[in-house]
Structure 1
Amino acid sequence: MTAPTEGRTVMVVPTYDEAENLEWIIGRLRAAQPDVDVIVVDDGSPDGTGRIADSLAAHDPAIRVVHRREKAGLGAAYLHGFRVALDGGYDVVGEMDADGSHQPEQLHRLVEALADADLVIGSRYVPGGSIINWPRSRELLSRAGNLYVRLLVGMPVRDATAGFRLFRRHALEAVDLDSVTSTGYVFQTDLTHRVLAAGLRVREVPIDFVERVRGHSKMTGQVAVESLRKITIWGLTDRRAQLRRWLGGRRVSRRAP
């Protein structure tokens, strides 16, 4: 399966200390989707990830590397990569992890679903999706977090925190990237919420999410708590706005002759 016929496609891959994984995962991506370009966004990795990325780019014109001076959060890296992709004229912009948890060989599922969507999410929690090698406690925590998002924010998405995605260009333009302030893992939920609020189409397709076998996860308890705090604020803000609209509508209807 090749890139979407709508135009040029690029995958943004953020990295921080992924020297053990980067060449392996980029090689798989280029083999699975040779028509898809790659933008690696490295946050000043001290383990030499940036140098590996530069070496890959030197031998493959479809790979570009963006070097950032410091680790500023997953969302900040994606925002930088998205802007570079939009400035580069790409029509479809994707995202995926560098640790091997997202299978490049399954990217075709997202490509096919983009035919009738503005954002496609590779989901662990729709029928056919799975998680491999996670402890049960972590999976339950992830599922509970996504359920919390659906109930509090009213988002009809089963895996709003997923990071394997394809956006049409106009979807990223519609969400106003310059106004996005979330920088951590809550960034994924934030963008999903914004795409839906813009009235655009979101589809989920099943993927097999595989726990990394090399390197260390960047997710910590502190990051998870911060994400839930921000989601709670969004949800309560949305609910207050809905209540105000409802009360305003009732007042108008009572005044009507």
Structure 2
Amino acid sequence: MSDSLPHLLVSLCTYNERENLGPLIGAIHEHAPDAHILVVDDGSPDGTGVLADELAAADPRIHVLHRPSKMGLGTALLAAIEYANEHQYEFLLNLDADFSHPPRYIPALRAAMDHADVAIGSRYVAGGSVENWPLQRRIMSWAINTYARTLLWLPIRDTSGSFRCYRLSKLRELDLSLVKARGYAVLEEMLYRCRRIGCRFAEVPITFEDRRFGESKINYREVVAALWMILKLGGQGVVGVRVKK
């Protein structure tokens, strides 16, 4: 990496993403050639972790963290944050490993970090959109985002997307042991905890695209767990306000 550029680590949390991984890493380096990439693989039975090791052996910008089994997005993201802090990167940028978050938006997210501590690739600000979603999925996404934004007092339109760039010096103010979500609810919880330490937010419009290969990992159990976690966090926030008063 050039000393004149921010030290950026891009994290990819993977489970059965072998068909997507190689092309995605190539696309990331097309738009951020200086970036290092960390693949956090949860013991993918399709060989994603094996492929990641092969790619890392051929490119020193690629690193791999193997985990023994499917442990959830929440713990994978925390592992990526810990790795980034240990290796003294300046920014951590996370995106889904299935091409639903097009790497062409990475330069815009990096530019937003000039005035933000957390930059969010947003589907729900002017210029943002989703492709080929059925009405039921649109309604569910709108409901979850409205629910989280209201209960957690978040000044953000897109609270459930994982295409984000974090300023690590600010995240080091967080006690990561407080993060309780193990699945997709970590996305809302991280915003909640970042708001509480005074992070500045920016939303960058993106078009969310369908995954290229494989199957989505989100199911109704994950949705219910996220709703419950958001409710608990919202309750903690209210209690905290009352205590301060």
8 Å CA contact 1:93, 1:167 repeated in 2: yes
Aligned partners of 1:179, 1:191: CA distance in 2, in Å?
A: 10
Aligned partners of 2:172, 2:4: CA distance in 1, in Å?
A: 20
Residue 129 of structure 1 deviates from its aligned partner by: 0.6
Residue 106 of structure 1 deviates from its aligned partner by: 1.0
Aligned partners of 2:197, 2:30: CA distance in 1, in Å?
A: 35
Q: CA RMSD in A?
A: 1.7
CA change 1:157–1:137 in 2 (3 A) is: same
Q: Which amino acid aligns with 1:153?
A: L
Residue 110 of structure 1 corresponds to which residue in structure 2? 109
Residue 79 of structure 1 corresponds to which residue in structure 2? 78
Matched, 1:229 2:228: yes
Aligned partners of 2:240, 2:196: CA distance in 1, in Å?
A: 13
8 Å CA contact 2:145, 2:158 repeated in 1: yes
Aligned partners of 2:132, 2:149: CA distance in 1, in Å?
A: 25
Question: What is the DSSP-based 3-state SS (H/G/I as helix, E as strand, rest coil) of the residue aligned with 2:121?
Answer: strand
8 Å CA contact 2:122, 2:157 repeated in 1: yes
TM-score, L = length of structure 1: 0.91
8 Å CA contact 1:119, 1:171 repeated in 2: no
8 Å CA contact 2:20, 2:212 repeated in 1: no
Identity within the alignment, %:
40
TM-score, L = length of structure 2: 0.95
8 Å CA contact 1:4, 1:111 repeated in 2: no
Residue 214 of structure 2 corresponds to which residue in structure 1? 215
Q: Where do 5+ consecutive residues of structure 1 fail to align?
A: 247-257
Aligned partners of 2:135, 2:2: CA distance in 1, in Å?
A: 35
8 Å CA contact 1:174, 1:195 repeated in 2: no
Question: What is the DSSP-based 3-state SS (H/G/I as helix, E as strand, rest coil) of the residue aligned with 2:240?
Answer: helix
Q: Which amino acid aligns with 1:44?
A: G
Q: Paired residues, what number?
A: 245
Question: What is the DSSP-based 3-state SS (H/G/I as helix, E as strand, rest coil) of the residue aligned with 1:77?
Answer: helix
Residue 243 of structure 1 deviates from its aligned partner by: 3.6
Aligned partners of 1:215, 1:139: CA distance in 2, in Å?
A: 21
Q: Where do 5+ consecutive residues of structure 2 fail to align?
A: none
Q: Which amino acid aligns with 1:71?
A: K
Residue 142 of structure 1 corresponds to which residue in structure 2? 141
CA change 1:241–1:83 in 2 (3 A) is: closer
Residue 178 of structure 1 deviates from its aligned partner by: 2.9
